[in-house]
Every structure is written in C-alpha cells, then in structure tokens.
Chain A
Amino acid sequence: MLDLPSAVSLGLTFAITFAVTFAATPVIAKAMRRRGIVGKDVHKLSKPEVPEMCGLAVILGLLIGATTYGFISSSVAREAAAFIGVVLVAGAIGMVDDLHPLGARIKPILTALAGIPILVLGPYVPYAEIPLVGPVRFTAVYPLLIPVAIAVTSNSVNMMDVMNGAMPATVAVISVTMVGLLLWSGDTRTATLASGLLAAMLAFYYFNRFPSKVFDGDTGSLSVGAAVGALAIFGRIEAVTIVALIPHIMNSFYGLASVRGLRERREILQRPTYLLENGQLRASTERGAPVTLARLILAAGPLGERKIVRGMVLLTIVSSLLAVVTYGITVYVK
C-alpha cells in the first residue's frame, strides 16, 4: 500500500517532471528552429517543417524529476542515478544520430551502451519473474542481457516514432501500466520513477500530437525507450513489459524481417505507406515494402494520420491489459 511520504514523493516527481518538460519544449523548439534543425512532416500534403530534437525537453524533465526524487529520498539515490545515466547515454546517442545519422547496424550496438549505468550501479536483481514458472535465476547471464534489453526497448520505441503523437501516446499508456503494476507489487521507488516518465510523455504529447508542433527526434525516442527498459529491470517486470511492448516489438520485428535485417531508411526503396491527394494514407501494395504497424492498420483501407495513431494507442491499451493479466498470472499461478 502507498504510504503518505511515498505518495508525496510520487506526486512531486510527477509534477516537477511534467512542469519542466512542458515549459522546456517550446523553448527548445524555438532554439532548434533558429538553428535550422528542422524535419519535414512527410505525412502532410504541405510538408511543413517542424523543429527536431525536442526530445531534449523530455530528457531534461526526466533528469530534474529523478534528481529531485533522489534528493528527497536518499535511499533511492542509486536507482535514480542509474535511471538518469541510462536516459543521458541513450539521449546522447540519439543526438549524434539526429545530427549525423548513424548506420543501421551501429545504432543498436551503441544503444546497448546505455545499459552500462545499470551494470555499474547495480540496481537489479538477477532473478526474472517468468509467468507460469516463477522466479528464475540468471546470475551469470542476466548482466549480459541488460544491454541487449536496453537496445531492444530503445530501438523498438524509436521505430514506432513515425507519426504525430504516436511515441508519447503509446509510451504514456505503457507508463500508466507500469506505475499501476509497480504499486501493486509494492515497489514504490520504481513506480515513482515510472510516474516521471508518464508525466514527461503527457507534457510532450501536448506539443507532439496531430498536427505536430515539435518532433522529439532520435534524441527523445531512444532515451524514452531506454527509460522503459531500465524501469522494467529495476522493477523486475521484464516479462510484463515485453507484453506491454507487443505493438512496438511487432512494428520493429515485422519491419526488420520484411526488409531482411538492419537497413537504413534510405537503403529501402519501397515505402510502407503512401500519402493520397486527399491527405489520407494508404498501405503500399508492393511485395517488398516494409511490413510496419501503420501498413498493417492501413491494410483495411486508407485512413488519416490521426486515426492511425488512435489505432496504435488502442493496440497498446490491449497489450497493456494483457500485461496486467500476465502480472496476475506471474503472481498467483506458480
């Protein structure tokens, strides 16, 4: 049960992260536009230029929120420091990628480095809770799996960041689920850090929703994905998080499988979707086109961007409900 000091810490972390992200986003957007760091919104007929790399506001919000929590509750300093480390390393890799695009093969390797702060500071238990089986000891293998897990979550969230509001909206749903499950398990520390992620996503969604005024860039999506992975490890909800991330994994796995491995966007000639003259999007009918979640949603017929994102959010709600059931199975069926 959530006691009063824990509730205050959770509320404060949420409020501070939300306020910082909300206040910083327009300031960073203005600075990016001034420096010419903009991207074309390719799913609009007018192809407007939108400030890129505004995910820096999310990183700033998470940094200040987690630092505040670390100061309020000194016993959580190790988790907070590891969380900040993961977000900063992934964010730095994202910044490099935004300014000088990295190769498709090097990016997952570099994002695995974001797992190093967890390995160094050690806020993990090498026992994974496996549904229907119970806790399984992975003492030797677990540390090796941490960088892989961070690379998978950060790149999966990154690959879902293709339409206005899709990344913050879907990750907000996953964050709510994580906060709820972590409170259920009694892990108020990780729940508080997860509430910070939720706050950052809600604040950023306000600016990133259709029609987007800001883009988070790889700076934002890689750091947010890494944060999800770190929270899953701290809170020992690895299997549950995999289930909640099914739409993201679906999107990245289908995409990679259909183009036969890791390839840069410019190496792939066919597009998964095409913009119609009425502003709607339709799925590509070409055989070699990447199979993405957007293409699967559009397979039934053309839709507007807002409706596609709504579909992605609905699928994330379904996967989050399945994650809750998975947690119930993990706890009660052994």
Chain B
Amino acid sequence: MKSIIALAAIEVFVWVALLGVTYVIAKGAFAINLGTTTLTERIATQAARVSASAVLVLVWLFAWKRVADYYLSRMLSRQQSTA
C-alpha cells in the first residue's frame, strides 16, 4: 500500500507537470513569432515553435523519469539494507 501511495504521488506530480508544460507550450512556445510575411519567415516560425515545444516535452519526460528512478533506487536500497 505504501508503494501505491508513493506511485500515486508520482502520478499527481506527472499530471501537474503535464498541465504546466501544456500551458507553457500554448502560451509561450506558440507565441513565438519570427514573422509570417515570407515563406522563410513562416517556416522559421513553425520550426521555432515545434523545437521549443519539443524541448519542453523532453524536460517533462526527463523530470518524470528522474523522479521514478529516484523512488526505485531509494526503495530498492532500503529493501536490501533490511534484508
């Protein structure tokens, strides 16, 4: 039961981070504007938006993995020390 509570807490963290990242992408990354008059400017704007969004998603996934790795290594080392 203890592990389920801890994993549920990780779920809540992942959810809050997902909402946060979604908001930042919509309001921040999608607000990037390098011009829309020429084709080059439009491509540059879209590429910058996609790149910024991808970086934010990677940060979210990395944070998610770090939290899970930390939990797993801590619990396994605790289990080994009590064995």
Residues of chain A whose beta carbon lies under 8 Å from any beta carbon of chain B: 130-133, 136, 239, 242-243, 246-247, 250, 253-254, 257, 283, 285, 291, 293, 295-301, 311, 314-315, 318-319, 322, 326, 329
Q: Is B32 an interface residue (CB 8 A)?
A: no
Given A133-B26, A254-B65, A296–B72 Cβ distance below 8 Å?
Answer: yes
Q: Which residues in window 24-49 of B have CB below 8 A to A?
A: 26-27
Given A283-B76, A285-B76, A297-B3, A315–B8 Cβ distance below 8 Å?
Answer: yes
B26 touches A253 (CB 8 A): no
Q: Give min CB distance, B19 to chain A, whole Å.
A: 6
- Determine the distance from Cα of A318 to Cα of B26 in the docked complex, in whole angstroms: 26
**Which of B19, B68, B75 has a CB less than 8 Å from the CB of A300?**
B75
A311 touches B15 (CB 8 A): no
Return the 7 tightest CB-CB contacts between A and B, nearest first: A299-B75, A300-B3, A133-B26, A318-B8, A322-B15, A132-B23, A311-B4
- Determine the distance from Cα of A273 to Cα of B58 in the docked complex, in whole angstroms: 28
A133 touches B22 (CB 8 A): yes
B8 touches A326 (CB 8 A): no
**Which of B11, B27, B72 has a CB less than 8 Å from the CB of A319?**
B11
Q: Give min CB distance, A252 to chain B, whole Å.
A: 12
B75 touches A250 (CB 8 A): no
- Determine the distance from Cα of A49 to Cα of B64 in the docked complex, in whole angstroms: 37
Residues of chain A within 8 A (CB-CB) of B27 are 133
Q: Give min CB distance, A36 to chain B, whole Å.
A: 39
B11 touches A318 (CB 8 A): yes
- Determine the distance from Cα of A300 to Cα of B60 in the docked complex, in whole angstroms: 25
- Determine the distance from Cα of A189 to Cα of B22 in the docked complex, in whole angstroms: 29
Q: How large is the interface on B (under 10, 10 to 19, 20 to 34, 35 or more residues)?
A: 20 to 34
Chain B, residue nearest A299 (CB): B75
Q: Give min CB distance, A145 to chain B, whole Å.
A: 13
Given A133-B23, A283-B76, A285-B76, A296–B3 Cβ distance below 8 Å?
Answer: yes
- Determine the distance from Cα of A315 to Cα of B83 in the docked complex, in whole angstroms: 27
Given A133-B23, A253-B64, A299–B79 Cβ distance below 8 Å?
Answer: yes
A315 touches B7 (CB 8 A): yes
- Determine the distance from Cα of A247 to Cα of B11 in the docked complex, in whole angstroms: 8
Residues of chain B within 8 A (CB-CB) of A319 are 11, 15
A291 touches B69 (CB 8 A): yes
Q: Give min CB distance, B75 to chain A, whole Å.
A: 4
Residues of chain A within 8 A (CB-CB) of B8 are 314-315, 318
Q: Give min CB distance, B65 to chain A, whole Å.
A: 6
Chain A, residue nearest B27 (CB): A133
Residues of chain B within 8 A (CB-CB) of A296 are 3, 7, 68, 71-72
Known contacts A136-B26, A285-B76; 19 further A-B pairs (Cβ under 8 A): A132-B19, A132-B23, A133-B22, A250-B68, A253-B64, A253-B65, A283-B79, A285-B80, A293-B7, A298-B3, A299-B3, A300-B6, A300-B75, A311-B4, A314-B8, A315-B4, A322-B11, A322-B12, A322-B15
Q: Which residues in window 1-21 of B have CB below 8 A to A?
A: 2-4, 6-8, 10-12, 14-15, 18-19
B11 touches A301 (CB 8 A): no
Residues of chain A within 8 A (CB-CB) of B15 are 243, 246, 319, 322, 326
- Determine the distance from Cα of A70 to Cα of B18 in the docked complex, in whole angstroms: 36
Residues of chain B within 8 A (CB-CB) of A298 are 3
- Determine the distance from Cα of A297 to Cα of B27 in the docked complex, in whole angstroms: 36
Q: Is B59 an interface residue (CB 8 A)?
A: no
B19 touches A326 (CB 8 A): yes
Residue with the highest number of chain B CB atoms closer than 10 Å, among A136, A246, A247, A326: A246
A314 touches B76 (CB 8 A): no
